Homo-oligomer: A and B are copies of this chain.
Amino acid sequence: MASMKSQVPLLDTVTRYILKRKGKQMRPMFVFLSAGLHGPISESTYTAASMIELLHTATLVHDDVVDDSNQRRGFFSINALWKNKIAVLVGDYLLSKGLLVALEKDEFRLLKIVSDAVREMSEGELLQIEKARKLDIEEGVYFEIIRKKTASLIASCCACGAASTTDDRDIQTAMWQFGEMVGTAFQIRDDLFDYQKHNKTGKPGGADIREQKMTLPLIYLLNLSGRAEKRHIISTVKNHHNDQKRVAELIAKVEAIGGLHYANEKMLEYRSRALKILSDFPDNDFRKSLYQLVMFTTEREK
C-alpha cells in the first residue's frame, strides 16, 4: 500500500508490523461486493476500501490500548511491544490518513458515511464501559452497543460500496441496513465463540467474562434468574472473574439454560433480515458472492 508510506521511520516499522497481522479482509470485501452489485467497480470503490481498512486498523490499534490485552490473534499486541504511547499515536495517524485518502479524492459522500460510523463506534465502546459498571444490562442495550460498536462500520462498508457505483440514496440506505444486520449477526457469532470450550480464535474461552463484558448468552441467563441467583452471577463477573472454576460454572449454566441456543437464534434472525434486503436486488454474481460472504461471516469457526 503506497498510501501508507510516511516520513517517520518508526511509523513505517509499526505499519509493516500491522500489515503482517493481516486478518480476514472482510471489510474491503463488503465494499467491493456491495459496489459491484450496483454498477461497475470504480476508482471510488478503491478509495472507499482503503479508507475503511485504514480506519478499521486504527480502531484495532486503539483497542489494544483500550482492552489492555496482551495478545491479539496470537501475536503480541502493538501495545505490549511498543506501549500505549505509540499505540494511541499510530491509531490517530491511521485515522487521519484514512480520512485524507477520501479528502484527497474529493469523496465527500463516502467521508460522511464513514465519519458517522466512526463516531458511533466510539459511542458504542463508551456505552459498553458505562453499562459494564452495573453489569445488569438489558438486552436492548446489548443490541444498541453492538450496533454502534461493530455493525456501524460494516454498514458503512456496504453503503460506501454502493455509493461508489450508484447515486441512488435509497439503495445506499438499504445497503447500510443490510450491513447493519450482517454486522449485528457477526458480533453475536463472535460473542458466542467465547462460550465454546475449544474455540479456534486463539483467545481462551470465557475471556469476555474475565473482561466483565456482558454478552447475549449471559444476559439471557440473567433475565431468567431469580434475585439471589442473579446476585451470585453478577458477583462472579464483578469480583471473581479470575476464578477459573467459577467462570467455568457460569459458562456451564449459560449453556444449560439454553443461552447459546437463544443467541444463535437471534443471530439467524438478523441474518435473515440481511438476506431479505439482499434478495430485493437483481440477481447477479455479486449478489451470490455477498450471500456467501454473509454465510461465511456467520458460520465461521474462528
Q: Which residues of A contact B (CB under 8 A)?
A: 6-11, 59, 62, 65-68, 84-86, 88-93, 95-97, 99-100, 103, 106, 108, 111-112, 115-116, 118-119, 121-123, 125-127, 129-130
B68 close to A126 (CB less than 8 A): no
A96 close to B68 (CB less than 8 A): no
B66 close to A85 (CB less than 8 A): yes
Residues of B near A111 (CB, < 8 A) are 103
Report the minimum CB–CB distance from A302 to chain B (whole Å). 26
Other-chain contact of A93, B93, B100, B126 (Cβ < 8 Å): B126
A79 closest partner in B (C-beta): B84
Task: Work out how many copies of this chain go into the complex.
Answer: 2
A115 close to B100 (CB less than 8 A): yes
A118 close to B92 (CB less than 8 A): yes
B115 close to A88 (CB less than 8 A): no
Residues of B near A96 (CB, < 8 A) are 115, 118-119, 122
Report the minimum CB–CB distance from A121 to chain B (whole Å). 8
Residues of B near A99 (CB, < 8 A) are 99, 115, 118
Other-chain contact of A66, B10, B59, B88, B97 (Cβ < 8 Å): B88
The 8 closest A-B pairs by CB, nearest first: A10-B130, A93-B122, A96-B118, A96-B119, A92-B122, A89-B125, A89-B122, A66-B85
Distance between Cα atoms of A90 and B130 in the complex (Å)? 13
Distance between Cα atoms of A106 and B125 in the complex (Å)? 28
A108 close to B119 (CB less than 8 A): no
A66 close to B95 (CB less than 8 A): no
Residues of B near A100 (CB, < 8 A) are 115-116, 119
A144 closest partner in B (C-beta): B7
Residues of B near A112 (CB, < 8 A) are 103
Report the minimum CB–CB distance from A138 to chain B (whole Å). 15
- A118-B96, A126-B10 known; A62 and B84 CB under 8 Å? no
Report the minimum CB–CB distance from A129 to chain B (whole Å). 6
Query: Can you show 9 pairs from A to B with CB atoms below 8 A apart?
Result: A11-B123, A68-B85, A86-B129, A89-B126, A92-B122, A96-B119, A96-B122, A100-B116, A106-B108
A126 close to B65 (CB less than 8 A): no
Residues of B near A121 (CB, < 8 A) are 92
Distance between Cα atoms of A93 and B7 in the complex (Å)? 27
Q: Known pairs A103-B115, A106-B108. 5 more at Cβ < 8 A?
A: A8-B127, A62-B88, A93-B126, A96-B118, A100-B116
A130 close to B84 (CB less than 8 A): no
Other-chain contact of A8, B68, B91, B103, B123 (Cβ < 8 Å): B123
A64 closest partner in B (C-beta): B88
